Chain A
């Protein structure tokens, strides 16, 4: 009965106000546990690759959870900017407004005013929730990919103690990888033949040198 009551309470809360962060945070939390576990259970991969991939997957979801919550919260906080000009009078009919202006006061008008107050409150909650959803979407579309691309590499290299990539080495590699420039000036030989004397004289060489 305890579990049933718990489920009933959860249903009541979700039915009254289903915040957009609930689903994404739940998905990210389960993904953060299950995906690294599945990766580590894969017998076809090398242990190092498994470790790297599992850590990367776990870190991505670990970053995603607070970003979803934070973006949703911050976007929800912007709600007063949009709803500050909305007043309970906006939810009253023209007839009731006219009656109030004429100084009429009866039970019908009191009821209409209290209804308008309730509607205004609901309206504000609705605006907050919709903004939260926009915040969560922004997190999924921009904030999480951007943050992951910035933070994951250094964190991974710290945890796995990977050697830092030297920028000079990279430049050298890039120079080596670059295609050789086309020689247009044929007055001088491009390379001295002396340099090839020590090189092994087997295999095919480009240009027949």
Chain B
């Protein structure tokens, strides 16, 4: 018997999230944005001001990573990988199924529908008038096949693109972007002083004042 916990654990929502590199990396980055500043804040060995500063910096870093990832990496690399697969990598391999889909959106819609039962698929296709989006053989596959072809090579190509995008985006691009963004943001929040040079001038001024006094 399938219990409620097992049912929730194996739900198609979680499965799709796990099987998609971009969704899983987004979730993990989101968790890091919560967890890491949290750990800094509960550390008793640091002074409250340092804690505040370090936690804000870590949160801003992870938030920037997330934004860069969602805005640039996901659309560019996922779509790019699909096109690369369609035009170069699997061009001479019709069984991969790239020629059956117009674009990535159509393939993703097909994947979503293929998880459902035949009756549900027929119903959704009729109600939402989605038939026109698919080629005749794909439409046939969706309306008749008990276990439709998943076209794993397309899925794999898209995931490989996401993986490369995730690595480039999170390990190389996001740190550079965050470096430019974090310090002004911290200054705006009042957690960082305006300019180190200005501080130095202030320090020399106070020292000279002390001497004269």
| A contact set with B: CB distance below 8 Å | 4, 7-8, 10-16, 18, 20, 22-24, 26-27, 30-31, 34-35, 38, 82-83, 85-87, 90, 115, 123, 126-127, 129-133, 136-137, 140-142, 145-146, 149, 202-204
Q: Which of B1-34 contact A (CB under 8 A)?
A: 1-3, 5-6, 9-10, 14-15, 17-21, 24-25, 27-28, 31-32, 34
Among residues of A, the one whose C-beta sits closest to the C-beta of B146 is A115
- Interfacial chain B residues near A20, Cβ < 8 Å: 18, 24
**How far is A142 from B35 in the complex, measured between Cα atoms in Å?**
7
Majority secondary structure, B binding face? helix
Smallest CB–CB gap between A2 and chain B, Å? 14
Number of A-B contacts (CB under 8 A): 136
Among residues of A, the one whose C-beta sits closest to the C-beta of B17 is A133
| B contact set with A: CB distance below 8 Å | 1-3, 5-6, 9-10, 14-15, 17-21, 24-25, 27-28, 31-32, 34-36, 39, 43, 85, 89-90, 93, 146, 150-157, 159-160, 162-163, 166-167, 170-172, 175-176, 210, 213
Using A85-B1, A86-B1, A133-B24 as known contacts, say yes or no to A11 and B171 having CB atoms under 8 A apart.
no
Can you show 15 pairs from A to B with CB atoms below 8 A apart?
A11-B153, A11-B156, A12-B152, A13-B156, A16-B152, A16-B156, A18-B20, A27-B25, A31-B170, A82-B9, A126-B10, A127-B6, A127-B9, A132-B18, A203-B213
- Interfacial chain A residues near B154, Cβ < 8 Å: 15
Using A10-B156, A26-B167 as known contacts, say yes or no to A137 and B27 having CB atoms under 8 A apart.
yes
Among residues of B, the one whose C-beta sits closest to the C-beta of A16 is B152
**How far is A14 from B87 in the complex, measured between Cα atoms in Å?**
20
Q: Is the CB of A18 within 8 A of B28?
A: no
Using A8-B153, A11-B156 as known contacts, say yes or no to A30 and B172 having CB atoms under 8 A apart.
yes
Q: Is the CB of A15 within 8 A of B155?
A: yes
**How far is A35 from B170 in the complex, measured between Cα atoms in Å?**
11
- Interfacial chain B residues near A115, Cβ < 8 Å: 146
Smallest CB–CB gap between A48 and chain B, Å? 17
- Give which listed residue, A14, A31, A87, A136, contacts B28 with CB less than 8 A: A136
Smallest CB–CB gap between B59 and chain A, Å? 13
- Interfacial chain B residues near A34, Cβ < 8 Å: 171-172, 175
Smallest CB–CB gap between A157 and chain B, Å? 14
Q: Is the CB of B163 within 8 A of A26?
A: yes
